[in-house]
Chains A and B, each alone.
Chain A
Amino acid sequence: MSLNMDKLMYKLKEQIIERLHLKDLKPENIGDDQPLFVEGIGLDSIDALELIVLLQQEYNIKLSNAEDGPRVFHSVRTIADYITANSGALKVTT
């Protein structure tokens, strides 16, 4: 499980970098628990919306209430937790 979790978090970091055009960052530069917004990586509300679409497209998970965003998108780990909790059998392809 923890191996899967690590893989998932790495994959998420790659996807976040690509989706949000964070070309100065590498997956290694993003801490698992580092806050993604404002004081951390510095993402903003538009990024939050992009992340909602990312979850939907890549993981088929719908975050219908935008107000859950800050909690779910706090860090890569919280996103990974949310994915794990909301999808049945998780398959990570790297």
Chain B
Amino acid sequence: MKVYIRSAGNISPQHSLDTDSFFLSRTTTSNNYFKSVEPDYDSFIDSKMIRRMSRIVKMGVTAAITCLKEAHVEIPAAIVTATAYGCLEDSSSFLRRMIEFDEKLLSPTAFIQSTHNTVGAQIALMLKCHNYNNTIVHRGLSFENALTESILLLKEGTRPVLVGAMDEITDDSQAILSRFGLYRKTDNRMGNIAGEGAAFFLLEKDQGKKSLAILKGLHILYKPESNKAIQHSLLEFLKEKETTLDQIGLILTSHTGNKKMDEQDKELMNSVFRNKVTFPFKSLCGDYPTASGFALWMGSVILKEQMAPFWMEHGPQFPLSNILIHHHSGNSHHSFILISES
């Protein structure tokens, strides 16, 4: 069975809600975090619903609606969402008030909106969609596991499937994650930056009138024993997908500029990825556990347009048939996603 990416919707630190803008200009940041370029949500979401929504919910719902509109689908047969951190803003806000007011005089809204399935639930509520709805929250593999589930649903005949990934930066999360030494110091132009975004995809079994790309394969690797094992795993995966390295014109890597984190890429860069056209996608969306959603979107639109963004130096050659995404988050969560021209 082939899996087609019929459409996508993406809110990220880039101008990604509109593909043309993404190809034309690139945004950068001098901070150690990279927040999304957000649209005027009022034109996407009903005012009665929007008033309680935190940023992650607005980003997620808007990306989902955009994706469905593009494919002219009103009600998907399934909604599968993925988030590593969940609704941080609402969690923090309830937690802070609970501590500050010593468990007294708390209001319910932040708690209600803090559950991890809020985005999936709000999409269902907006669409009045009674169909399948699930939420995967597994760190750097949240989106990959949601994709795995979506592919199984398609195989069972549940289609089309709306699948998406989202995470948000909040002041608290940035303060805490910075203390773990994940991000560059603000005065350093090099190194890792925090990111966020929401990317949704509509998956189908057939091509329909148009589609962005074919999701040719997905391989998940949790806690690989060594860098050699990562490389071995990739080669096995490509063999299984009957795709040679020569057929892959662009590799989107998780390279961040943080020495410790990039250690994982080293072996691949010096062997399999050597002499290949690579691009570090986290330089566009920042580093967050579900950033593979951004990478899948980026790869898909490049395949669809058969064109590299104007700002990309040393881009791939066209026609371009296959793109490989190597996502890794921390040292333990790796995935390879192979997409091809549809």
Bin chain A's interface residue count.
10 to 19
Minimum CB–CB distance for B74 against chain A, Å: 24
A12-50 interface code vs B (CB 8 A; 1 in, 0 out):
000000011111100000000000000000100010011
**Is the CB–CB distance between B107 and A50 below 8 Å?**
yes
**Is the CB–CB distance between A46 and B109 below 8 Å?**
yes
**Is the CB–CB distance between B106 and A53 below 8 Å?**
yes
Instruction: Pick from B46-54, B285-293, B313-321 the stretch touching chain A.
Output: B46-54
**Is the CB–CB distance between B47 and A50 below 8 Å?**
no
A46-B109 Cα distance, complex, nearest whole Å: 7
A20-B48 Cα distance, complex, nearest whole Å: 10
**Is the CB–CB distance between A21 and B51 below 8 Å?**
yes
A50-B108 Cα distance, complex, nearest whole Å: 7
**Number of A-B residue pairs with CB-CB distance less than 8 Å in the complex they form:** 24
A57-B105 Cα distance, complex, nearest whole Å: 7
Minimum CB–CB distance for A44 against chain B, Å: 9
Q: Which interface residue of B105, B106, B107 has the most chain A CB atoms within 10 A?
A: B107
| Chain A, Cβ-Cβ closest to B53 | A21
**Is the CB–CB distance between B47 and A49 below 8 Å?**
no
B89-107 interface code vs A (CB 8 A; 1 in, 0 out):
0000000000000000111
Q: Decide if B112 is an interface residue (CB 8 Å cutoff).
A: yes
Number of B interface residues at 8 Å Cβ cutoff, please give it. Answer: 10
Minimum CB–CB distance for A53 against chain B, Å: 4
| Chain B, Cβ-Cβ closest to A21 | B51
A19-B108 Cα distance, complex, nearest whole Å: 12
**Is the CB–CB distance between B52 and A56 below 8 Å?**
no
The answer to whether residues A49 and B108 also contact, given A20-B51, A23-B51, A42-B48 and a CB cut-off of 8 A, is yes
- Residues of A within 8 Å of B106, CB to CB, are 53
**Is the CB–CB distance between A56 and B51 below 8 Å?**
no
The answer to whether residues A24 and B105 also contact, given A46-B52, A46-B112 and a CB cut-off of 8 A, is no
- Residues of A within 8 Å of B48, CB to CB, are 42
Which A residues, 41 to 79, have Cβ-Cβ distances below 8 Å to chain B? Answer: 42, 46, 49-50, 53, 56-57
**Is the CB–CB distance between A24 and B47 below 8 Å?**
yes
- Residues of A within 8 Å of B109, CB to CB, are 46, 50
Minimum CB–CB distance for B293 against chain A, Å: 28
**Is the CB–CB distance between A46 and B108 below 8 Å?**
yes
B287-324 interface code vs A (CB 8 A; 1 in, 0 out):
00000000000000000000000000000000000000
A46-B106 Cα distance, complex, nearest whole Å: 13
A57-B51 Cα distance, complex, nearest whole Å: 21
B104-121 interface code vs A (CB 8 A; 1 in, 0 out):
011111001000000000
The answer to whether residues A53 and B52 also contact, given A24-B47, A46-B112 and a CB cut-off of 8 A, is no
- Residues of A within 8 Å of B107, CB to CB, are 19, 49-50, 53
**Is the CB–CB distance between A21 and B52 below 8 Å?**
yes
Q: Which residues of A contact B (CB under 8 A)?
A: 19-24, 42, 46, 49-50, 53, 56-57
Kindly list 7 other residue pairs between chains A and B, CB separation below 8 angstroms, not including A24-B47, A50-B109.
Answer: A20-B51, A21-B51, A23-B51, A49-B108, A53-B105, A53-B106, A56-B105
Pick 5 A–B contacts, CB within 8 A, sort by A.
A19-B107, A24-B47, A46-B109, A50-B109, A53-B107
